[in-house]
Amino acid sequence: MSDYKQALIDYINATNTHDFSEVEKCLAQNAVYWFSDNSCTTIDAIKEYFEQAWTTVQEEVYQADHVQWIATSSEVATCIYEYKWSGLVNGIHQSGKGRATNIFKQVDQKWLLIHEHLSA
């Protein structure tokens, strides 16, 4: 498996820990997130967004399905996928899905997420 493919797996697994310190290990310091309702351009803003989401959706499970690596090189790799989530919202099981784009970049010989774009 290519290292960038493992980087996506590691990122999804880190997200499912609900511990931002684990997610942060997967992020480039200048990572930019575009969500349907907000854009985050600093690690602190990304952390705040994740932690709010984990508070809203308790016991959330996030997954990436139908991953397609659409552009790859030795320095950058871009994938698109359908994301799915499920968890408890106000004690009631809920789920949803949307589309995602992730861009990973080689930083100090490690693949890190530099951009994520999620849309419902």
Angle at 55 between CA 50 and CA 57, to 5 degrees: 90
Q: pTM for this one?
A: 0.95
Per-residue confidence of the chain (120 residues) as pLDDT tens digits? Answer: 579 999 999 999 999 999 999 999 999 999 999 998 999 999 999 999 999 999 999 999 999 999 999 999 999 999 999 999 999 999 999 999 999 999 999 999 999 999 999 998
**In the chain, domain spans:** 3-119
To the question of domain 3-119 being in CATH 3.10.450.50, the answer is yes
How many other C-beta atoms are found inside a 10 Å radius of the C-beta of residue 37?
Answer: 7
β-strand pairing of 110-119 with 58-72:
unpaired
